[in-house]
Structure formats: C-alpha cells, structure tokens
C-alpha cells in the first residue's frame, strides 16, 4: 500500500477511517445564532460523536475557555454510555474552566446531557487589566480522576493571562484514567522536551486518593507562557535505554502486594528485553485516603522520550497479574513503533493545534480518542491536520470495538501560534472556524 499524504478527511476515505469518523462530523461545528443581547455566536458540538465520552467535553471546553470568541453548547453528552450525561469529574472540569475564564454555565448539573458555556464579547473587556493571580478549588467528592481534570485545565492555564493556584481533589489513582504519576513522569517531561518552560507547571501531591474512596489532593501552580508554544516534533523514538518499574501501595495495603506487582512486571519485561536496564522501586503513599495499589512502568529512550504502561491493583486480581498486565501494555506500545503511547497521543493534539509552526508526531496505532481530538481541533482552531500511514506494507485494520486503526502514523499540522487573548496576536489566532 502506498503512503497517503493527505489531510485528515482524505485519510478517512482512503484507509478505513471513514467508518469511524463519518459518525463524528454530522453536528460538530454547527453554529447557532444567539439573541441580539450578545455579539457572540454559539458553536454546537454533539457529545455522542467520535469517542463519545469525557474527552470531547474536556477538549471543547478548554478551547472555548482559551479563545473566548464563541459560546459553546455541548449536547448529547455521553449519550451512548450506560450512564449518560455529566459525571462528577466532567462537571468539576467545566466549573473550573468557567470560573477561570469568567464564563457562565447553563445546564451544568450531574447527569445533564446539554450544557452551554457563555462568554462576554472580548471587545467589551479587552481594555481590562488581567487579574495578577487566581486561586481555584475543584473537588469531585468522589474518586473522579485528578489526571482528567488536569487534561481540561492545563491548556487553559498555559494560555491564560495570569498565574493560577489550582487545588484539585479526587482520585490520584482511579480506574478508567491515567494515574497521576503518569502526568508527572510522562506527560510533563514530554511537553518540556518540546520546549515547555519548567516553571510553567509546578505540582505537589498533598495526599493520594485511591478508587473507590478518592479524597486525594494535588496542588498545581501554573504560570502562563510569555511566547507561543514551540512546535511539538517527536519523530525519532531512538533506542530504549532503561525501564523503570514503580509499584505503589497506600493505607493498610501491605507492601508485599506492591512487591509482587514488581516481580510480575519484571519477569515479563526481562523476557522481551533481556539487555535493557530495569530499575525497580516500591513506593508507600503514607497519607493516602483508602487502601490501594498500582503500578507504573516507564521506558525512556536515548532521544529523551518516555512511554508507559500502567495498571491499578484489584482484590479480584493477583498482584503478579496486575504487574504483568502493565508490562504487557508497555511492551505492546513499544512494539507498535510510535514515539508516544496511546494515552499521550490524543493529549498532544490540542497542544499541536495551539503551538506555533509545524508540529509532527509519530504514533503507533491510531486511537479513536486521537481521531476525535483531531476533528475537534480542526473545528475549533480552523486548521487542518494531516495523518499519514507510515507502514507501506501493512494492511489497514480498524477494530470496530474501539475504533483503533493499526500501524504507525505521522500526525502533523501547522498550529495557530496562540498566546493569550490580551496579546497582540489575538485577532489572527482567534480560533474562529466556519
């Protein structure tokens, strides 16, 4: 099969993505005029499209809060899920973004499937001086993932016009989401490798909170960028130089549970990568709320990239099996050939769209989350992504159960070089898209 140098829509027609993304495009990007009391139009996004879960809420709301040039309506929120509508962590993310950006929310209640964020016209407030700093608290009162809250607020914080102190409360180690340790050990180092200043995001864990109790707290201090984010270019993975296995336990969960996780993971990795240096560590979360355990395995390459596999402990599963599953996840990612793992590829799309210049990343199998993130970025930023299949001999295969497209891909775009809405470039980087 020939390489397909094309825009995202063309790739969807020629390599099997059409079956996935045709379902995304029906309502995303449709604008509804408001009353004459405001000059801002409203962008309507169907929350059931694409991956149809929380990511479309987080990304859409983050872009809206950053640009503040259009109101945002999200409807059919999580319509295909068994429990439809906003869950606690989605609601808290929306509330934090609304408070930070000065937006008002309509319909923002638990279980709601229709929410609107409304902003003041920038022309009415452009002469105002930015607030020097701000302190905000977001509390899920559950084990709702703190890492997912960070996915929503971090883009806004970097492109805001002031320092913000965020107190985020919920689950540091929750199900169906990356562990907080992933944010510190993989996500942040990758952005820093791409040029994010070290002082832009400072974090401190006050206490860990495990599923199902939650109760964790993380303090985040963010300092906005003073120049547009540099292009994100991750094309050469290089060779693996070391693998670090960290198993953690907290509360009354005994140490031997974490030790057995390490043992199961080490055995699996050593079989596949016998010549790679493997570091092992057991960490005790002394101030944890609830009892729990988990494991994060990070592979580092000689080009500075980090890829990970992880798993959360369960009473229904032997610790050695939990460790082995995390190791198998990492090994599968490494064999997939990308420069980023599946949890990172969709998160980077948003930053690629906002960065200046030409960003390019090489991924392994293309996840449905990534496909959805690309489509939302195109609609809200008015740019076009290119997605190129790199494995010429590989046969396109779409997993209908999760929308994943097999094989290595190159994702690229020319970002809008956004800074903040008070900067001189606000007129040319407003994100307005028809």
Catalytic residues: 369
The 3-state DSSP class for residue 360 equals strand
Report residue 262 as tokens: 């390490």
Nearest to residue 419, comparing CAs of 164, 155, 198, 226?
226
Nearest to residue 61, comparing CAs of 75, 73, 76, 77?
73
Residue 112 to residue 110: CA distance in whole angstroms: 6
Q: Kindly compute the dihedral angle of the four CA atoms of residues 207, 327, 269, 394, in this order, to the nearest 10 degrees.
A: -140
DSSP state of 186: I
Q: Kindly compute the dihedral angle of the four CA atoms of residues 319, 321, 324, 329, in this order, to the nearest 10 degrees.
A: -110
User: What's the angle, vertex CA 63, arms to CA 61 and CA 66, rounded to 5?
Assistant: 105
Report residue 163 as tokens: 């320092």
> Which alpha helices (DSSP H) does 177-318 contain, by range?
180-182, 188-193, 255-272
């Amino acid at each position: 099969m020939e390489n397909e140098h094309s825009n995202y829509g063309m790739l969807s027609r020629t390599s099997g993505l059409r079956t996935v993304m045709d379902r995304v495009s029906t309502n995303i990007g449709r604008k509804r005029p408001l009353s004459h009391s405001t000059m801002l139009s409203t962008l309507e996004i169907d929350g059931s499209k694409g991956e149809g879960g929380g990511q479309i809420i987080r990304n859409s709301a983050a872009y809206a809060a950053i640009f503040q040039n259009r109101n945002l309506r999200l409807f059919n929120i999580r319509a295909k899920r068994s429990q439809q509508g906003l869950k606690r962590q989605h609601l808290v993310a929306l509330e934090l973004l609304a408070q930070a950006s000065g937006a008002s929310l309509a319909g923002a209640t638990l279980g709601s499937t229709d929410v609107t964020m409304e902003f003041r016209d920038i022309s009415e407030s452009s002469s105002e001086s930015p607030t020097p700093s701000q302190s905000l608290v977001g509390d899920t009162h559950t084990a709702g993932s703190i890492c997912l809250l960070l996915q929503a607020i971090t883009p806004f914080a970097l492109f805001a016009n002031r320092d913000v102190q965020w107190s985020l409360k919920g689950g540091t180690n929750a199900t169906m989401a990356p562990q907080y340790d992933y944010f510190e050990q993989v996500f942040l180092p990758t952005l820093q490798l791409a040029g994010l200043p070290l002082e832009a995001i400072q974090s401190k864990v006050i206490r860990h909170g495990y599923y199902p109790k939650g109760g964790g707290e993380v303090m985040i201090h963010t300092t906005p960028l003073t120049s547009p984010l540099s292009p994100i270019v991750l094309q050469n993975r290089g060779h693996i130089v070391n693998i670090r296995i960290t198993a953690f336990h907290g509360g009354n969960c005994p140490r031997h549970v974490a030790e057995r996780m390490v043992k199961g993971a080490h055995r699996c990795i050593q079989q596949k990568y016998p010549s790679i240096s493997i570091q092992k560590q057991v960490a005790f979360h002394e101030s944890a709320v609830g009892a729990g355990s988990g494991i994060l395995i990070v592979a580092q390459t000689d080009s500075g990239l980090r890829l990970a596999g992880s798993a959360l402990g369960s009473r229904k599963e032997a610790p050695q099996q939990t460790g082995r599953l995390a190791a198998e996840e990492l090994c599968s990612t490494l064999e997939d050939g990308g420069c980023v793992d599946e949890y990172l590829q969709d998160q980077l799309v948003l930053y690629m769209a906002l960065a200046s210049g030409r960003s390019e990343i090489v991924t392994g199998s293309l996840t449905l989350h990534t496909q959805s993130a690309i489509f939302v970025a195109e609609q809200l930023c008015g740019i076009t992504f290119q997605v190129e299949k790199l494995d010429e001999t590989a046969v396109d295969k779409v997993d209908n159960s999760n929308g994943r497209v097999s094989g290595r891909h190159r994702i690229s775009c020319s970002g809008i070089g956004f800074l903040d809405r008070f900067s001189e470039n606000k007129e040319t980087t407003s994100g307005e898209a028809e």
